[in-house]
Amino acid sequence: MEQIIILPIIIPLFFAVVMLLFWNKVHLHKYLNLISGLTSLIVSVIILSFTISYKIISLQVGGWVAPFGITVVSDLLSSVMVVITAIIGFSTALYSIGTIDNQREKYLYYPLLQFLLMGINGAFLTGDVFNLYVWFEVMLISSFVLLALGGRRGQLEGAIKYVTLNLLSSAIFLAAVGILYGIAGTLNIADLARKIPLIDQKELLSVVSILFMVAFGIKAAVFPLFFWLPASYHTPPVAVSAIFSGLLTKVGVYALIRFFTMIFTHDIGFTHTILLVSSALTMLTGVLGAAAQNDFRKILSFHIISQIGYMILGLALFSPLAIAGAIFYIIHHIIVKTNLFFVSGVVKRLKGSYLLNEVGGVYKYYPMLGLLFLIPALSLAGIPPLSGFWAKFVVIKAGLDLNQYLVVAVALIVGLLTLFSMTKIWNEVFWKDDPSGDNKNVNEMYESLTTTKKFMMYSPIVFLALITIIIGFYAEPFFTIANDAATQLLDSSLYINSVLGLK
């Protein structure tokens, strides 16, 4: 039974290989991609249900006993992340059919998407620090190519910044892995969780923890390491931006949560204070950066940063409720943010531009699209009863419980400014009259799209909006899962026993 947890890594690999074997039959790729997304979704839900009933499932690849072999572990946090990855993978598969052009398909867009999903799932499921590095690299290489595919000037400039800073982060990560191995003599996360508390060299541990914090901080776009994100995320096609904005930074956040709850808890006063300060600054800079922008996707990119701040805030507060809040926040954020990017893509198809002052009047002619925008946008700003309200509520409640009034105030102000940004987009894109007069500006490209393509563009938006509404009105089970996941992280004995086979 435990063999099933390798499947979220194997399924994308298998489909990528099949696509590469038939690399010149491009029209088949999108259907293979869709089948892969659907299979992954089913398998990941099965894994989640197994994980809920059996607590933690671990698999020793190749039969080598932990901590010597390669371990794959699915605890609640991992399996929840894998389910969300599958949801986003499936929605992106649908959306790509509607939007991705022939040229990109020819340059192996779909296999790269599968490799990206393989890397993300691998990073979530691995139980070993060095394998985390390897999966990060798998994910990065595919994301590099996806970002640069198409080769327009903006894309290449964005890609250079993205590639350079991510390679820098990988080099730091690698050095940190080496030093950690030198200190602890092991790289298995369960073994580390057991051995780190027994180590005397607390100062050296703090140095390593900061190295990891910087490496993951770059990937998660935490203040002051976020500059690559707004420089690159608005350049590739929308399907790519959407999957990046939903998943890639969250892998960094996931790694931060995993490391700073299970491994580096030797000096919370030091490490988590740094996280707390940087989370407040991340929220503020992100939201202020967004307020200055005039490009639909750039506003959304800056909001990724400000939202990352809330997740890091949950981690930094370091109480069971706060970490549960952070996990709940990730679940909510991935779905909402991906959806907003999808909407921005449809607006671009309609009006031919991402710039707010060039578009307008969408609500007049496409009122349903306005509604579909409002659901994720208001959820992002934290308007009850949508999912974002509960996510913010839990994190802020945890902050109030710990008497951290300053960061709570920052979080509330940032929520308000998020609403300001979303209202700005609403006013400019949907509400105001079209600057070019009547609805003439509607892109003929859009009108000429077949109904199937339009359906493929709208269906993921409706799908993700439905999930947002379900999380909003029926938050209890989602919060229970987040809470149980946080409990598993803070009391790692279950994880250690499962991986190392101690009973």
Partner 1 sequence: MTVVLAVIVGLLYGAGTYMILRRSLVKVIIGLIFLGHAANLLIFTIGRLIKGSPAFIPVGAETLSEPYADPLPQALILTAIVISFGVTAFAIVLFKRAYQTVGTDDLDKMKSTDELK
Partner 2 sequence: MFSVILSTASKYLLPLLLIFSFFLLLRGHNEPGGGFVGGLVAAAAYALYFIGNGVGEAEKLLKVEPIKLIAVGLLIALLSTIPSLFVGKDFMTGIWLKNNFPVVGKVGTPLLFDVGVYLLVLGISLKIIFSLAEEDK
Give the footprint of partner 2 on this chain (CB under 8 A).
Answer: 3, 6, 10, 13-14, 16-17, 20-21, 23, 59-63, 108
Q: How far is the CB of 330 from partner 1 (least distance, A)?
A: 27
Asked if 355 touches partner 1 (CB under 8 A), the answer is yes
Query: Residue type for 210, please?
Result: I
Residues 312 and 222 sit within 8 Å (Cβ to Cβ): yes
Strand partners for 74: 57
User: Contact at 8 Å (CB) between 29 and 65?
Assistant: no
Q: How far is the CB of 158 from partner 1 (least distance, A)?
A: 5
User: 468 Cβ partners below 8 Å, 6+ apart?
Assistant: 332, 335, 336, 339, 375, 376, 379, 386, 387
In the complex, what is the shortest distance from the CB of residue 63 to partner 2, in angstroms, rounded to a whole number? 4
Residue 361 belongs to what H/E stretch? none
Q: Which residues contact 230 (CB under 8 A, 6 or more apart)?
A: 289, 298, 301, 302, 305
Residues linked to residue 61 through DSSP beta bridges, in sequence order: 70
Q: Determine the longest span between alpha carbons in the chain, in angstroms.
A: 72
Question: Which of 4, 214 has the CB closer to partner 2?
Answer: 4
Q: Distance of alpha carbon 58 from its chain centroid, rounded?
A: 24
Binding mask 221-250 for partner 1 (x = CB under 8 A): ---------xxx-xx---------------
For residues 168 to 197, the per-residue mask of contacts with partner 1, x marking binding by CB under 8 A and - elsewhere, is x-xxx-xx-xxx-xx----x----------
Q: How far is the CB of 396 from partner 2 (least distance, A)?
A: 43
The partner in contact with residue 405, picked from partner 1, partner 2, none with C-beta cut-offs of 5 to 8 angstroms by kind, is none
Tell the smallest beta-carbon distance from residue 271 to partner 2 (Å). Answer: 35
Segment interacting with partner 1, rule: CB under 8 A, options 162-170, 304-312, 448-456, 493-501: 162-170
Task: Write out 159-215 in H/E/C secondary structure.
Answer: HHHHHHHHHHHHHHHHHHHHHHHHHHCCCEHHHHHHHHHHCCCHHHHHHHHHHHHHH
Interacting partner of 293 out of partner 2, partner 1, none (Cβ under 5 to 8 A depending on kind): partner 1
Whole-number Å distance between alpha carbons of 339 and 50: 28
* Rounded Cα–Cα distance for residues 80 and 218 (Å): 23
Nearest distance, CB of residue 176 and partner 1, angstroms: 9
Q: Is 36 or 71 the residue whose CB approaches partner 1 more closely?
A: 71
Cα(275)–Cα(282) distance, rounded to whole angstroms?
10
| Dihedral pair phi/psi, residue 268, rounded to 5° | -65, -35
Cβ proximity to partner 2: between 39 and 301 the closer is 39
- By CB under 8 A, name the one of 3, 49, 103, 151 that touches partner 1: 151
Contact 219, 251 (CB under 8 A): yes
- Tell me how many residues contact partner 1 (CB under 8 A): 44
Cα 259 to its chain centre, rounded Å, is 17
In the complex with partner 2, the residue whose CB is nearer, 4 or 291, is 4
Q: Binding partner of residue 21 among partner 2, partner 1, none, CB under 5 to 8 Å per kind?
A: partner 2
Assess 203 for contact with partner 1 (CB under 8 A): no
Residues that bind partner 1 (CB under 8 A): 130, 133-134, 137, 140-141, 144-145, 148, 151-154, 156-161, 163-164, 167-168, 170-172, 174-175, 177-179, 181-182, 187, 230-232, 234-235, 292-295, 355
